[in-house]
Amino acid sequence: MKILIVGGVAGGATAAARMRRLDEQAEIVIIERGKHISFANCGLPYHIGGVIPLRESLLLNTPESFEQNQNVTVRTRTEAIKINRTDKQLVLKDLDTNREYVEDYDKLLLSPGAMPFKPLIDGINDDGVFTLRNVEDMDRILSWIQEKKVRSATVIGGGFIGLEMVENMKHRGLEVNLVELADQVLLNIDKDMANNLHQELIQNDVHLFLKDAVKAFKSTGNIVEVTLNSGIRFETGVVIFSAGVRPEIKLAKEAGLELGVKGIRVNAFLETSDPDIYAVGDAVEINHCILKKPVNIPLAGPANRQGRIVAGNILGQGRERYEGAIGTSITKVFNKTVACTGLNSDQLSKAGFDFLESFTVSKSHAGYYPGATPMVIKLLFLKTGEIVGTQICGEKGVDKRIDVFATAIKSGLKVQDLEWLELSYAPPFGSAKDPVNIAGYVAHNIIKGDMEIIGWKEMLNAPQDVTILDVRNPKELEDCGSIKPERMINIPLPILRNNLDKLDKEKTIYIYCQIGARGYFAYRILKQNGFKCKNLSGGFMVYNMAVKKF
C-alpha cells in the first residue's frame, strides 16, 4: 500500500510513525511545504524569548532522522497543489525548482494544519509585521529583532500564542503592547477569570488595549506605526499578529471534498467524503464531546491522538473511532497559570444549557507548608451533576488539577464523584482535602440545596432591601476592602451566634467572607435559625477579581 501524507508536525508525522510501527511493508511519503516535518510549534515563543536557548531543541525530528529511523520518505519544500481523486493522484510542486510532478496513492492523509488569520488592513504585509506558525517564522522574527535592535514589541491578539509572545517579548527586555478586540484576553475562559490575567499583565508593565483593534500599520525603516480603531497611535519595533487561525482547506475544497462550517468534514474514523482520503489536525472539524456537534479545536493534543488513530484505520488494522475533544488547554502568563477544559459560561448559554456555577479558592498545597499559593477554580455543572466546564487560575498546581477535571469530564463523572476521588497528598504537593475535592463538595452542596449561592453579579446588583453581611474580621476589611461598605453589616463569624438579634428575619441576607468557606458556615447558622440567606460564591476575593477595572 502506498500512502501519501500532506503535512507533518503533530498529525501527519505522528500518523507516519505509527503506520511504520504497524506495517513494515507500506510505502509512506510525507509531503511538507516547509523545511521541517516535526517541530515543537508550541515552543516557538519560548525560543524567541530565550527561555529555550537552543533552536535545535525544537526540532524533534529532522527529515533525515525521520527517514532513517522510520523508513519514511520525506519531501520538504514540496507543496501539494491538486488532488486528482479519479486517478488517485496528487500533483506536487518542488518549491526550490518550481517543477511539478504527479505521485500516485492508494490512501491519502491530509494534515495541512491551519494558517494564521490576516485580515485585509493597510500594512498587514509590511516589513516588521509577522505571524508565527513555524520555525521559519520564528527565525524571521528573531532576525528582525536582532538586526533592527528592536526595543519595543506589539502583539495583536490575546489568545494563547499572543499571551505567550507577550511574556517572551518581556523576557527579551522589550516594552510590550497587547491589543485585543474583545473586552478580555483568552476567550476560552470567562471574563471574571480573565481579569486575573489582566491584572498580571498590567503588573508586569504590559500596555493593555482591550476592546480595540488595528486599523492600519505603516512601516518605515526600523519602526512600525500602529493605528488603532480608537484613534490611538504609537510606534513599535516589531508586530506579532496573533489574531487566531483558520483551517487550511484549499486543497480539500478544490478536490470537491465535503466541508463543514469549521473545516474539512470527517467521520468518527477520520475519513473524508472520499473513502480513500482521510484528514486530521487543525484543518478538520471534530465532535465536541459536550456540545455533541462539530467544532474546530486547533490543539496539538487532539491532533496527535487523531494521527495515532488514523494510522491503523488507513492500514485496515481495525476501525478505531475518534470520539472527539473537550478543548483542554493551559498557558502561563508571567507568574500566573490559567487552564480550562470543557465549555465556558458564554458557550454554555449560547448552546442552551441550563447550568450552575461555583467558585472555590484553595491553596496549591497544605497551607502550613511554605510556598502555598491560592488558586481560583470555577466549576460549571448541570443540576444533575454532570461537569460541563472548569477554569482554574493560580500560580502552582493548576496543571494537575485541570487534568483531573478533564479526565472527569471525559469519563462521565459528576460533581458528587469529585468528593470521593483519592488524590495524592503530602504537604509539599497538596492537601488532605484536595482543591478538586473541595470543588466537588461545594457543587454537590449547591445541587442538594445545602447552600444557596449568589454570584458576583448578583452581589454587585444587590437590591436595596437586601442585607449584606460580612463575616470577616475587622482587620480583613481594613486590609482588603469590602463590598458596598455604606450598607454592609460586619459580624465576624466567631460571634455571629451571639448577635443574631442584629439581623432582620424579614429581609434576605447576602453573606460573604474572603473566599466563601466562612460564608458557608454562617449560612448554615442563619438558615437553621430561620433566616433567609444566600452565600457569595468565592467570597470577596472572587468578587473583587471580577469587578476590578483595568
Q: Which helix (H) or strand (E) holds 441?
A: helix 435-448
The closest alpha carbon to 109, from 283, 279, 256, belongs to 279
Number of H helices, E strands in the chain: 16, 33
Question: What's the angle, vertex CA 549, arms to CA 545 and CA 550, rounded to 5?
Answer: 105
As a whole number of angstroms, the distance between CA 88 and CA 110 comes to 14
**Backbone φ, ψ for residue 533 (5° rounding):** -150, 160
Active site residue 42: yes
- The rounded distance, in Å, linking the Cα atoms of 335 and 340 is 17
Q: How far is CA 320 from CA 27, 75, 271, 314, 497, in A?
A: 22, 29, 11, 10, 61
Q: Which listed residue (42, 289, 480, 533) is catalytic?
A: 42
DSSP string, 211-265: S--EEEEEEETTEEEEEETTS-EEEESEEEE-S-EEE--HHHHHTT--B-SSSEE
Decide: helix, strand or coil at residue 525.
helix
- The secondary element (H helix, E strand) that includes residue 545 is helix 539-547
CA of residue 97 relative to chain centroid, distance: 40
Q: Which three cell numbers stand for residue 494?
A: 466567631
User: In whole angstroms, what is the distance from residue 334 CA to residue 338 CA?
Assistant: 11
Least Cα distance to 59 among 73, 72, 40 occurs for 40
User: Closest Cα to residue 9, out of 76, 102, 91, 103?
Assistant: 76
Q: Where are the beta strands (DSSP E) in 144-202?
A: 152-156, 175-180
Which residues form the catalytic set?
42
